[in-house]
Amino acid sequence: MSETRALTVGRPASGRRPTASLTPRERSRRRREARGAWSLLSPSLIILGVMVGYPAVLMVIQSFTDYTVKNKVQGTLPAFVGLENYVDLFTQSDFPAVLMRSLGLMVVLTVLNMGLGVLVAVLMTRLSRAWRIVVSIGLLLAWAMPPLTATVVWGWIFDTEYGVVNWAMNTLTGTTDWTNHSWLLNPWSFFFVLTIIIVWQSVPFVAFTTYAGLGQVPGEVLEAASLDGAHPWKRFWFVVFPYLRSILTVVLVLQIIWNLRIFTQVYALQSRGGLASETNVLGTYLFRQGVGEFGATAAIGVVMVILLLVLSWGYVRTTLKEEEL
């Protein structure tokens, strides 16, 4: 009994034998397996290094220089300025305001997308097959539409002269106060329209992913909870949610990243009448600042990458811990 316990305690958690106890033949087989794995991974690692690693390193280097379009045209080397670009970014520009605006918008969009997406997924489980197909087609159409096309369509709906929304508001109020009303000129109404567009296109992804995860919940468990008198909210939180935790975590991280990187919808609405100075988010701010000032733009890019890494680090750490178990 004690010998068995000693063997069990001394064995590695992974279940693999220590290298020292392997025979020469087993060591040779492990080396061949390792070489085979690296040979398969090498092309992907090389491509990843060239496509991602090199631009990232170059961006970090340029963020410490005064690299401008003048250096690029004349072929001269930029001067090293240290942290000057980062100091100017937070003290002599409107980047802090843009950053806070982007974070606030990201929180609102993420909460709405996750909440409405999960709600739609749960409702789809209660629908008949015919209605579920109809709802799925509607969600697919919204999801498949390109962001620029969706923005143009919603831009016409909220158009100042021909928009359906202004006509509907005049009809409901019985006045002409909404005639030629601009929904994009005021920053608050601008972000209201932007939120509608992004939520309309993002909810289908959350809904479909959650709906697929709901299929993993055993019906017997839900039936037992119902027989025990559990409230529907308690059934979802204590029975369904544990099965969906890993799925919803991935979806949440993706939503945070996507909502912090929005560009097309914001830029298109700004082109239709929005004030860029009051509605810029990180993506459009980086685009507009990037003309000529490459060093300052690189500093903005580095800050964005660090911010995204910080926001997604919790998920990465959890994933690594689960793989070790």
Q: Which residue has the higher pLDDT, 53 or 302?
A: 302
Mean pLDDT of 12-36: 67
Query: Residue ranges of the domains in the chain?
Result: 93-289
Burial 135-146 (b: 16+ CB within 10 A, else e): bbeebeebbeee
Map residue 65 onto helix, strand or coil. strand
Confidence bin at 2 (pLDDT 50/70/90): very low
Read off the pLDDT of residues 255-290 as tens digits, 9 standing for 90 and up: 998 999 899 999 999 998 888 889 999 989 988 886
Query: What percent of the chain is predicted at pLDDT more than 70?
Result: 88
User: Is 239:222 a contact under the CB 8 Å cutoff?
Assistant: yes
Q: Read off the tokens for 136.
A: 């799925």
What's the pLDDT at 276?
87
The answer, yes or no, to whether residue 189 has pLDDT greater than 90, is yes
Q: What is the mean pLDDT of the chain?
A: 84
Read off the pLDDT of residues 11-20 as tens digits, 9 standing for 90 and up: 444 445 555 5
| 106 CB-side CA count, 13 A | 24
CATH of 93-289, one of 3.30.460.80, 3.40.50.300, 3.40.50.970, 1.10.3720.10: 1.10.3720.10
